[in-house]
Amino acid sequence: MESVGQLILRITLAVVLWPHGAQKVLGAFGGGGWSGTYEAFTRNMGIPAPLAVVAMLTEFLAPAALVLGLMTRLAALGCAILMLTAMRLHVRNGFFSNWSGKQAGEGIEYHILFAGAALALCLTGPGAYSMDAWLASL
């Protein structure tokens, strides 16, 4: 059952994060796409260019790695770092998400939840139903 839990956790994290990555990299779901996001990160937010690229690629590629269970611990760690870093941008908005639309922006509760789940996966590993486990058995 432990491996089933790890599989559910990997897929859940991927399903939640990938659309955000697709917004940033592909312009899907109303996102800015590569150039719009890159400009927003580097010019508007002052994020150094190499870190902006790493953040965008992590948000887009790590979910695929999580679904496959490939380089799971690294992908999960990257997601956790991404969320903990994003918290710095949202902490001024408080704890709660902006469900009512009355806040200046989103709080940090989503980031804490996602980072905690990613760190748990980083510590427990991918489980038996993963490419990591298959590769380790060779």
Question: Model confidence over 63-107: pLDDT tens digits?
Answer: 999 999 999 999 999 999 999 999 998 999 999 988 888 888 889
Angle in degrees, 0-180, between the axes of helices 109-124 and 72-90, rounded to the nearest 10: 160
pLDDT of residue 67: 98
Question: Model confidence over 16-43: pLDDT tens digits?
Answer: 999 999 999 999 999 999 999 999 999 9
Nearest alpha-carbon partner for 135 in 73, 69, 65: 69
